[in-house]
Amino acid sequence: MSERTDIAICGGGLAGLTLALQVKRRLPERRVTVFEPTRRPLPEACHKVGESSVEVGAHYFGAVLGLHDYMMERHLPKNGLRFFSGVPGAPIEARAEMGPREAPRVPAYQIDRGRFENDLRAWCVDAGVDLREGWGVRDVTLGEGVHTVSAVPVRGSREGEGAAAQLEARWVVDASGRRRLLAKKLGLQADLPAQSSSAWFRVSERVKVRELAGAAEGAWHERDVDDNRWLSTNHLCGTGYWVWLIPLGSGYTSVGIVAEESVHPYKGFSTEAAAREWLASHEPALAERLSGLDFADFIAMKGYRHGATQVFGERWALVGEAGIFVDPLYSPGSDMIGLGNSLTTELIAADLAGEDLEPRRAHYDAFFRDWAALLARTLCEGSRAMGRPEVLGAKLYWDYFYYWACMCPYFLRGHYREPLASHARFHDALRAFAALNDQAQRVFQAWIDVAPAEPGTAFVGLPAIATTLSDLHLALLEERDADETHAEMQRSLAQGRELVDELWLRAVRRAGPTRAAALVERIGWRPSPSDARLAADEAEPKRRRKLLSKPVRDMERSIGKNARAPGAPSLRELCASAPRVEAVAQSR
């Protein structure tokens, strides 16, 4: 006879454990069962990647699950994202640095996954979750009124081999990671474009980015007077690749190579020996720092991106990597877990309360996949900008802008809990930002393809203090109701349209008059700059600043001026230099 539960979760990794804890706290009277093949204790440091969080994922752990104090005690505070872009192999102090000047006030964490998942398992058991360690799910049979999960003990389990169990559940959630149990069973797999590959490992000591610069580089070191660069997720960037350095609370450092397959083939770093050789060629200072250290582990993965044509079904859900995984750039994995788990919890609660689930299910499914598509549009070709600091700075500014203007306020203020009629307007806002983002990403890719490379600015502080960008970030600490947040998003959309136009103007200035037509043709759209903006470009410096709008002035304060050089054509002249593409669609 089968056992019964309310919610069966297939997989007890980060997504499955946090979902179990979230559902049990929301619905304490309901039975939650988690099947997980591995047993405690899990190894610290060398367990899994996905060690870095940003605002949405950090809010999920710290506020939704109430773990902020624990994260600060047992893990590390994160000092934002930091990028060092320039010629591969160049000294780090000779590269453009882009990152926060001071520790962000909106919290994020650097997470030791083994430590975290050990603790999550204990909390789940304490909360009353039926955690079945040493059990692997063999199959799931979806039924009209109840689903059936078939599980078996893994080899070497104390339950003994062959002691299969069947569990009937009203809800089944696939949290099986890259096994993707339900997605494969239901034929829901989808490809994502521009595949990249990765290799990663841990070393058993702190590897600080300041150690890669010479002690004589006083000005470079003085930018880090508090010695907190190392708490950032540091990215060492070159054409088609980036290398991460992530500190862990256990004292280890996580190091990873992420590379566009068409530029840096997987076989070039797919083994420990190959990875050391690849680093020696592309990041020699880091390779030298690691030369006397053993790799505590080593894992490589070719073509890591995958999508799904559906993530929420009739009393089933795909969460974490069992559903969609886009890219490690900007650390969005925990964001996807937080959003997916929270929408799943809302669906389960609505169903068990007797609600007709289909309208909510269809809406959440489209919303989540649109969220993932927005990230994919941003990230899947992101490595192309890594070796172009003048493009990367502009891209980071825009990418942070829409993330802090749309995705973060929506989640941090809990608007995923809104009634469907109210939630729909946030979906509309997400789609509007996605349309703007598509235009921005077109600008960046065309800029890279058409305009000559430039060295970039020595240091770009993101976000610069007292700017549109920093105001958006600090506003995330404020409680606002759904109406206020939606109105704020509409204001940000208006600013965003102006910023995307300004990105276009930056790109066309870098392309110059001989390449302007090719640039605009590659982008596929062109703005109609206001007379005030064109007049500002032709004005004397003091008057120029007064004529610029605040969003444009703030962008220039952050990533440098888009000013006319002596004798160079004006923006008005550059815009007129590509008349044959005037008919390109300008819909916004």
Q: Three-class SS of residue 190?
A: strand
255: which strand partners? Answer: 201, 245
Report the amino acid identity of residue 51: E
Return all residues near 179 (Cβ < 8 A) that are at least 6 apart.
11, 322
Query: Residue by residue, what is the 3-state secondary structure of 105-162?
Result: CCCCEECCHHHHHHHHHHHHHHHCCEEEECEEEEEEECCCCCEEEEEEECCCCCCCCC
Q: Confidence band (pLDDT; 50, 70, 90) for 579?
A: very low
Q: Maximum Cα–Cα distance for the chain, whole Å? A: 85
Q: Confidence band (pLDDT; 50, 70, 90) for 585?
A: very low
Cis peptide preceding 41, ω within 30 of 0: yes
Instruction: Assess whether pLDDT exceeds 60 at residue 584.
Output: no
Q: Give CA separation, 390 vs 327, 447, 547, in Å.
A: 22, 10, 24
Residues of the chain with CATH 3.30.9.100: 76-110+193-301
Q: Per the structure block, which two tokens stand in for 552?
A: 């444009």
Q: What are the strands, taking DSSP E only, across 40-118? A: 76-77, 81-85, 96-99, 109-110
pLDDT at 582 (0 to 100): 43
Instruction: Assess whether pLDDT exceeds 70 at residue 242.
Output: yes
Angle at 324 (CA atoms; ends 21, 522), nearest 5 degrees = 145
Residue length, the chain? Answer: 588
On the CB side of 117, CA atoms within 13 Å amount to 27
- φ, ψ for residue 98, nearest 5 deg: -130, 120
Nearest to 182 by CA among 206, 149, 158: 149
Burial of 1 (0-12, 13-18, 19+ CB in 10 A): exposed
Nearest to 210 by CA among 187, 183, 234, 182: 234
- Burial profile 47-84: b = 16 or more Cβ within 10 angstroms, e = fewer: bbbbbbbbbbbbbbbbebbebeebbeebbbebbbbbbb
Q: Confidence band (pLDDT; 50, 70, 90) for 343?
A: very high
258: which strand partners? Answer: 198, 242
Q: Please tell us whether the domain made up of 3-69+113-188+306-383 is placed in CATH 3.60.15.10.
A: no
pLDDT at 587 (0 to 100): 42
- What does the mean pLDDT of the chain come to? 95
- Tell me the C-alpha distance between 16 and 18, whole Å: 6
- Tell me the C-alpha distance between 493 and 514, whole Å: 32
pLDDT at 417 (0 to 100): 98
pLDDT at 578 (0 to 100): 64
DSSP of 441-468: HHHHHHHHHHSPP----SEEESSPTTSH
- Tell me the C-alpha distance between 318 and 171, whole Å: 11
Write out pLDDT tens, residues 11-41.
999 999 999 999 999 999 999 999 999 999 9
Q: Per the structure block, which two tokens stand in for 212?
A: 């890669």
Name the pairing type of β-strands 233-238 and 241-247.
Answer: antiparallel
Whether 26 contacts 127, CB under 8 Å: no
Whether 172 contacts 316, CB under 8 Å: yes
Q: Is the pTM of this model over 0.85?
A: yes
Other C-beta atoms lying within 10 Å of the C-beta of residue 132: 21
Task: Give the H or E element holding residue 543.
Answer: helix 541-547
pLDDT at 204 (0 to 100): 97
Report the amino acid identity of residue 331: S
Write out pLDDT tens, residues 350-366.
999 999 999 999 999 99
Q: Confidence band (pLDDT; 50, 70, 90) for 88?
A: confident
Q: Per the structure block, which two tokens stand in for 186?
A: 């239901």
Q: Give the highest mean pLDDT range of 5-14, 44-53, 449-458.
A: 5-14
Write out pLDDT tens, residues 141-169.
999 999 999 999 998 666 555 578 999 99
Task: Give the H or E element holding residue 433.
Answer: helix 420-450
- Tell me the C-alpha distance between 372 and 487, whole Å: 23
Cα Rg of the chain (Å, integer): 25
- Tell me the C-alpha distance between 4 and 169, whole Å: 6
pLDDT at 528 (0 to 100): 86
- Tell me the C-alpha distance between 424 and 233, whole Å: 34
Question: What percent of the residues of the chain are helix, what percent strand, and what percent coil, each to the nearest 5?
Answer: 45, 15, 35
On the CB side of 333, CA atoms within 13 Å amount to 25
Name the pairing type of β-strands 96-99 and 32-36.
Answer: unpaired
DSSP of 275-335: HHHHHHHH-HHHHHHHTT---S--EEESS--BEES-SEETTEEE-GGGT-B--STT--HHH
Write out pLDDT tens, residues 528-570.
899 999 999 999 999 999 999 999 999 999 999 999 999 999 9
| Block residue for tokens 């960046």 | 444
Instruction: Assess whether pLDDT exceeds 80 at residue 580.
Output: no
- Tell me the C-alpha distance between 270 and 273, whole Å: 8
**What CATH number does the domain located at 76-110+193-301 have?**
3.30.9.100
- Tell me the C-alpha distance between 260 and 383, whole Å: 7
pLDDT at 160 (0 to 100): 58
Q: Three-class SS of residue 380?
A: coil
Return all residues near 373 (Cβ < 8 A) that are at least 6 apart.
434
DSSP at 193 = S
Residues of the chain with CATH 3.50.50.60: 3-69+113-188+306-383
